[in-house]
Each structure stands twice: as C-alpha cells, then as structure tokens.
Amino acid sequence: MQIGNGIYTYGISDKKLDKISKKIKKGKIIPGLHLVTLPLFDDGILEIYDYNQLLQPFYKTMDDKIVIVGISKDRAGANDIVMELVQRMCDAGNGFNVREFLGI
C-alpha cells in the first residue's frame, strides 16, 4: 500500500497519523480504521475500505496498486473525506481526474 502525499484525514491528529502510517506499512491490524483509496480496478472516482479488509490475501496481491488518499477512524469520516475531495475537484474545474487533482 502506498500512502499519498497530502493525505486527507478525519478525526486523526498528525501525531496519530504517523503511528497509523507505520502500522499500515508493517501490515498490522488496526480496528475501526477506514481508508479512502484510488479505485483499485480503475472504475469510479474513490473507494472506501475497512483497513483490515485490505489485509486479506486477495488484496495483498494488489498491494502495489493500493494508493491511500484518506484515513478516518470511522466510515462516516471516510464519507466526509470523499465528499470534500469531490467538492474540491468540482471547484477546481478539472473534472473528476483524481490522480491529476492529487498530483499522483
């Protein structure tokens, strides 16, 4: 999994973000954590996953394709991150090219 630059967070302090990032890189279990990612199958704009779901063997084979753009401690926060990103893309007028908007 790759953590994008300028990651969006909801309900997570910078100090906690560093700890969470280290755990994600090590593949540790983190209860209740939700991730906003670029679409895994190039179908859609953004996707929300329970972090622990991405630790399953199926997703481990796709590990290099998973790009995290947002982290939240709950599903509602992840929804807010998606809404904020979509609104910012609309305001910027670049359509819905998430990769271009985020510089990935």
Render pLDDT for 13-43 as a digit per residue (tens, 0 to 9): 988 999 999 999 998 999 999 999 998 887 8
Neighbouring CB atoms inside 10 A of 39's CB total: 13
Report whether pLDDT(96) > 80.
Answer: no
Phi and psi at 93, nearest 5°, equal 75, 25
Question: Total structural domains in the chain?
Answer: 1
pTM score over 0.85: yes
Report whether pLDDT(5) > 80.
Answer: no
Q: CB of 39 within 8 A of CB of 90?
A: no
- Model pLDDT, residue 20: 93
Report whether pLDDT(76) > 90.
Answer: yes
The domain containing residue 14 runs over which residues? 2-102
